[in-house]
C-alpha cells in the first residue's frame, strides 16, 4: 500500500477481490478506495456482493452501471486490445478502468480464486457430465437437442437455454 499515486481496488464481491480488499487494510493506510461495475439486468449484476464487502471493510466504494449494449468507446477498446479476445468481460473491464482512472492511478485487480475453488454455477455441470455420456445417441440428438433449441432465448446470465445448450453442446440461436 506504499505508493506515490492513489491506489484503489476493483471489487466484485468474490473470494479473490474480497481478499485483495482485506489485504489493503493496514494501520495508517487510510480508507480503501473500491470500485465495482454492474448491469441493470440483475442476473448479470454482482454489485450487491461488492457493496457488502465494501461495507464490511469500510471502503470508499463507487459503482458504475454498465450498459450491456454499450458501443461508446468500442473503437478505442479494440485499438487497445490489439488482437482478438474471447473474454466477454474485457469491454466492461475497460469501462470500469476508465471510470476508476478519474480517482486512482493504480488499481489492484483480482482473478483466479473463483475459478480455482469452482465458485461459479457453471462448474456444477461437470458433476453430471459423466452421466450424459451414457445416454443413447438417438435420445441426445432427437429428444434433448430439439427440446433445448425450442426453449425461449433470454438475456439472463444463467438462463436455462444457454446452460443446457452449453452442457449438451447444442447451437443456441
Question: Is residue 1 in some structural domain?
Answer: no
53 and 108 within one domain: yes
CA 24 to chain centre: 22
146 and 96 within one domain: no
Q: What is the pLDDT of residue 173?
A: 42
| Mean pLDDT across 17-35 | 84
Question: Is residue 132 in some structural domain?
Answer: yes
CA 71 to chain centre: 19
Please report where in the chains the cell 471502503 appears, as a residue. 59
66 and 150 within one domain: no
132 and 107 within one domain: no
**What pLDDT digit, counting tens, does each position of 67-84 carry?**
755 666 677 777 777 777
Q: What is the pLDDT of residue 38?
A: 87
140 and 91 within one domain: no
Question: Is residue 173 in some structural domain?
Answer: no
Query: Which carries the bigger pLDDT value, residue 68 or residue 31?
Result: 31
**Nearest 10 degrees: CA dihedral of 93, 96, 97, 102?**
170
Q: What is the pLDDT of residue 33?
A: 92
135 and 72 within one domain: no
Full domain range(s) for residue 111 = 7-116
* Cα 75 to Cα 43: distance, rounded to the nearest angstrom: 27
Amino acid at each position: 500500500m506504499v505508493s506515490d499515486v492513489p491506489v484503489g481496488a476493483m471489487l466484485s464481491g468474490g473470494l479473490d477481490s474480497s481478499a485483495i480488499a482485506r489485504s489493503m487494510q493496514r494501520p495508517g493506510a487510510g480508507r480503501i478506495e473500491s470500485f465495482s461495475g454492474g448491469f441493470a439486468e440483475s442476473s448479470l449484476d454482482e454489485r450487491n456482493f461488492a457493496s457488502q464487502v465494501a461495507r464490511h471493510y469500510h471502503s470508499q466504494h463507487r459503482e458504475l452501471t454498465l450498459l450491456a449494449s454499450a458501443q461508446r468507446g468500442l473503437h478505442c477498446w479494440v485499438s487497445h486490445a490489439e488482437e482478438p479476445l474471447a473474454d466477454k468481460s474485457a469491454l466492461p473491464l475497460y469501462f470500469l478502468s476508465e471510470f476508476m482512472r478519474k480517482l486512482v492511478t493504480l488499481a489492484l485487480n483480482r482473478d483466479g480464486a473463483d475459478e480455482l475453488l469452482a465458485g461459479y454455477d457453471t462448474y456444477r455441470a461437470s458433476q453430471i457430465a459423466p452421466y450424459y455420456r451414457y445416454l443413447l445417441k438417438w435420445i441426445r440428438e432427437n429428444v434433448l437437442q430439439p427440446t433445448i433449441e425450442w426453449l425461449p432465448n433470454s438475456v439472463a446470465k444463467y438462463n436455462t437455454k444457454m446452460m443446457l445448450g452449453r452442457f449438451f453442446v447444442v447451437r443456441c440461436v
